[in-house]
Amino acid sequence: MSAEFEKDNTRVILDSLAEGVFTVDDQWQITSFNRAAEKITGISRDEAVGRKCWEVFRASICENECALRQTMKSGKNTLCKTIYIVDAQGNRIPVSISTALLRDENGRIIGGVETFHDLSLVSELKKEIEGKQAFSDIISKNHLMRRLFDMVVQIAPSKSTVLVEGESGTGKELFARAIHNLSPRKNKPMVVVNCGALPDTLLESELFGYKAGAFTGARKDKPGRFELARKGTIFLDEIGDISPALQVKLLRVLQEKTYEPLGGVETLKADVRIIAATHRNLEKMVTKGLFREDLYYRINVIRLVIPPLRERKEDIPILVDHFISRFDRLYEKKVHGVSPEALSLFMKHDFPGNVRELENMVEHAFVLCDDELIHPRHLPESLWSKKGKDLAFPESLQENEAAYIREVLRRNNWDRTAAAAELGIHKSTLYRKVKSLNLILPEKDGRSNRKG
C-alpha cells in the first residue's frame, strides 16, 4: 500500500468523525485538520494546515496551560478537558478536548494529536435547565419554592406590604429583591436596613433621619432610609428585633404613610413599599406581648414562608454546582464538581445555616481543593467528624435517593400519586424506584385518607 493511498484513507476516516481532530508536528505546526474541525472552528483545512495551533484556536489555555504541550512534555494523555476556543467569527465555543502523542516507528515523539467535541448544545441545554430552576438569582427545583416564585410574580406589581419569614441563610433578601425588581418601582432604590444590627436610638435616626442639632454631634441634616428609598422599596430585615417603642413609630408609617425626622417639626410623606423579614415567629411573639399585634397585622398583608434547606435537599446538588461555577470565576480555578462521597456528606447534613452555610462550605472546599473534584478531605471537618471522632462513611447516592423518596412519601401521607407529582416523575416511575430501592412502605396508601 503506497504512502499516498494510506494518507488518503486516513483523511477519509478522520473526515467521517463527528469530533474535530487535528495533528501537529514537533514545531507545533498543524499537519492535518479534519472536516469536523473546519465546521466547529469556521476555519478551512487549507487555512489551518501549516500554521501554529494557537494561531488557529486562540483557546483559553493556549498561553499557559496548553494541554497538548503538557502531553508532549509529560507523555500523559489528556481526557475530556473542557476549555473555550475562539472561532473565525470571534465567538467563544465550549469544547471538550483529549490529547495524545504521535510517534514514529522507532518510538520517537514526532508530534501530537488533539480531538475536540463541540459542547455548545450541551451548554445551551444546561442554561435552559438552570433557567427553569433559577428565579431572580434564587435557585431551586423544590415544589414549595416554585410556588413562592409564582407568588412573587403575582404580588410584585402591587403596593402591598410583604412579610418574608424564614430561618437565617434561607435567602429572604433575595426574595425581597425579586419583588422589587419585578415591581413598577424597579428603577428606584431598594434600601436594606438590618434592624437587628443597630441599637434602638441609632436605628430610629437611621430610619427617619435627623435635623441639625437634634442631638450632640448632629451638625447637619441627615436623610433617613425612608427618604433614601423614596418611590422605591425599603427592606426591613429582622423586624422582630426592634423595641416596642420603635414599633409604635413604625406602625404610624404603615398606617398614615408619614413620619418626622429626629429633631424635626415637618411631617414627611413615606412614599415607599415596605418589605419586612424575620427569622423569628412573630405570631408567638405577639402572644407573649413582645411584638405589637396591630403592627404584626399591618406587615403581614402578604406572607412568604421560605422553607429551610433541610426540607428541600433536592436543591443541594444544583446549589453546589452553582457555587462551584461562581468560585471558578472568582478564584480562576478549574474545579469541575464534587465527588459522590462529598455530595453524600452534603446530603446528610441538616444545614442549620441553610444556603449561606452551604455556600461557605463550598468556598472552604474550593480554596483547599487541589483536584478537579471536591473530595471529603476538602470539606470542613465539622461536616465529616463530630467532637474529633470520625463519623461512619457516608451512604451511597442510592441510599440517599431512597431516603429522599421515603421522606417525600411521608410528607404526602404515603400518597404515591401526590409524591410522584412532587418529585416530578410519573407514578409508574415512582413504583419502579420504590421496588428497585427495596423501600418498605406502609400498606395503607394516603389516597384512602382523601376527603370527597
**Angle of helix 416-423 versus helix 427-436 axis, rounded to 10:** 100
Give a yes or no: residue 254 inside a domain: yes
Question: CA-to-CA distance for 406 and 410, rounded, in angstroms?
Answer: 6
Which residues, 6+ apart, have CB-to-CB distance to 271 below 8 Å?
Answer: 230, 231, 257
Both 42 and 153 in a single domain?
A: no
Look up the CATH number of the domain holding residue 70: 3.30.450.20
Q: Are residues 315 and 301 located together in one domain of the fold?
A: no
Q: Is residue 130 part of a domain?
A: no
- Residue ending a domain, among 386, 406, 436, is 386
Reading the block at residue 154, the C-alpha cell is 403575582
The pTM of the full predicted model, rounded to 2 decimals, is 0.61
Identify whether the C-beta of residue 348 lies closer than 8 Å to the C-beta of residue 316.
no
pLDDT at res. 283:
93
Based on the fold, state whether residues 324 and 301 are members of the same structural domain. no
Handedness of CA 309, 315, 316, 318 (dihedral sign): negative
pLDDT digits (tens, 9 = 90+) for 382-411: 887 653 344 444 455 566 677 778 878 887
* Domain end among 386, 413, 431: 386
CATH number of the domain to which 316 belongs: 1.10.8.60
Does 163 share its domain with 221?
yes
Here the CATH number for the domain that contains residue 231 is 3.40.50.300
| 373 in the same domain as 266 | no
Last residue of a domain, one of 358, 386, 414: 386
- pLDDT one-digit tens code per residue, 259-285: 888 887 788 899 999 999 999 999 999
- Residues 66 and 38 placed together within one structural domain of the fold: yes
Give the per-residue pLDDT at 10. 76
Closest CA to 246 of 285, 292, 288, 284: 292
pLDDT at 122: 58
Structural domain including 76 reads 3-123
| Furthest-apart CA atoms within the chain: distance in Å | 103
Considering the domain boundaries, does residue 392 fall inside one? no
Q: How many domains does the chain have?
A: 4
Kindly state whether residue 131 falls inside one of the protein's structural domains. Answer: no
Residue 103's pLDDT is 87
> Quick check: 190 and 183 in contact, CB under 8 A?
no
Q: Are 138 and 175 in contact (CB under 8 A)?
A: yes
Q: Give the model's pLDDT for residue 387.
A: 38
**Is 232 found in the same domain as 213?**
yes
Instruction: Examine the domain organization and report whether 151 and 113 are in the same domain.
Output: no
Same domain, residue pair 282 and 159? yes
Q: What is the pLDDT of residue 64?
A: 62
Give CA–CA dist 30/24, Å, rounded: 4
Same-domain check for residues 173 and 296 = yes
List, for the chain, all residue ranges whose pLDDT scores fall below the cut of 70: 1-8, 59-65, 121-136, 213-217, 385-400, 443-452
**pLDDT confidence of residue 258:** 92
Are 112 and 168 found together in one domain?
no
In a domain, 134, yes or no: no
Q: What is the pLDDT of residue 304?
A: 96
In a domain, 129, yes or no: no
User: Are 150 and 250 in the same domain?
Assistant: yes
| Nearest-angstrom CA–CA distance, 68 and 5 | 28
Q: Determine, yes or no, domain membership for 106.
A: yes
**CATH classification at residue 438:** 1.10.10
Residue 97 belongs to a domain: yes
| Residue 121 neighbours by CB distance under 10 Å | 9
